[in-house]
Structure 1
Amino acid sequence: ELLRQRQQRIVLPCAQLLIGQTRTIISNWMAYHKLCKLVNRDIKYFQQYLEELYECQTSLNKNQQLILNTRTNTQQMNKALNKFLNEYVMCKTCRSVNTNLLKKNRLWMVECQLCGSQTTVKKLQWKKM
């Protein structure tokens, strides 16, 4: 059972973008929402991560699509998702995605539910959304 949990695979959504002159719209944002739910993260954390990474503001439109106030492409967006998962989701010890993001003593930590290891992660400027 433990081995089966450890080998859990997640399917990453490929970014579907509408690229304009000054902004990018992620048209399949709900796929990212489902992924974040699957890996036990609030979608707002990934949205805030994108804001910090691209140094821009984001918003949701009426169709539940994320609007980035900057230009990007599919390859960069897929890299951003992989980087977020490696930094804030995957256990550094056993590579499991069965983790929690916790704040302990002013430090943000990824705590693995399988092996019990805790790893500190870079603090994002979480803002209230």
Structure 2
Amino acid sequence: MAFDHYKEMLERARNEVPEDIREEKKFEPPNVEIRREAGNTIILNWNKLVKAVNDQEKVFLRFLAHELGTHGETERGKTTFKGSHSARKINQLVEEFINVYIICSECGRPDTKLQKEKGRLLKKCQACGAWQFVEPP
């Protein structure tokens, strides 16, 4: 009797989980596509990268600019950073950003959202409900 009740509750809980979270899939961000122009590095596929980091564009831009030690600005789907930076270096930084700000430390899923909480940056997992404070870039 109790087991039937448990199975019913479990089925209800599974039905509440969004379909895209239920799917088991390996998270792979797109590789950075760059062009160098007039002493600047332009990321051509910025919008794809922003989608890969759950639309956390402001935090992502700040993180990359901070780690590259330069200024960055976004315009019409492209982002320009002052100076010459390799695609390899930027790809490494994208991976680092994802590991710190996107991947849930409890369940390993990329289904997190960042939000400000009492002046701090909170990473909250939509899949398992875990949360943790992360240092802003």
Give TM-score, length-normalised by structure 2.
Answer: 0.74
Higher relative contact order (CA 8 A, sep 6+): 1
User: Counterpart in 1 of 2:32?
Assistant: 15
When the two chains are superposed, the root-mean-square deviation of aligned CA atoms in Å is 2.2
Task: For residue 97 of structure 1, report the CA deviation from its aligned partner.
Answer: 1.1
Alignment of 1:120 with 2:137, yes or no, is no
**CA distance 1:60–1:113, change in 2 (3 Å):** closer
Q: Deviations over 1:87-123 (max 9, x none)?
A: 1111101111111112222221111122221111112
Structure-2 separation of matches of 1:65 and 1:102: 24
Structure-2 separation of matches of 1:115 and 1:32: 24
1:51 to 65, 69, 76: 65
User: Counterpart in 1 of 2:46?
Assistant: 29
User: Counterpart in 1 of 2:96?
Assistant: 83
**CA distance 1:6–1:105, change in 2 (3 Å):** farther
- Greater helix fraction, Structure 1 or Structure 2: 2
Structure-2 separation of matches of 1:119 and 1:34: 22
| Paired residue type of 1:76 | K
Task: For residue 30 of structure 1, report the CA deviation from its aligned partner.
Answer: 2.4
For structure 1, list consecutive stretches of 5 or more residues without a partner in the other structure. 125-129
Alignment of 1:105 with 2:118, yes or no, is yes
| Paired residue type of 2:70 | C
Q: Deviations over 1:67-94 (max 9, x none)?
A: 1102211111111111111111111011
Percent identity, aligned pairs only?
Answer: 20
Structure-1 separation of matches of 2:58 and 2:121: 16
Asked whether the 8 Å contact 1:8–1:96 carries over to 2, the reply is: no
Number of equivalences: 119
Give TM-score, length-normalised by structure 1.
Answer: 0.78
Task: For residue 8 of structure 1, report the CA deviation from its aligned partner.
Answer: 3.5
For structure 2, list consecutive stretches of 5 or more residues without a partner in the other structure. 1-13
Runs of 4+ in 1 over 6 A off after TM superposition: none
Asked whether the 8 Å contact 1:54–1:70 carries over to 2, the reply is: no
Asked whether the 8 Å contact 1:51–1:57 carries over to 2, the reply is: yes
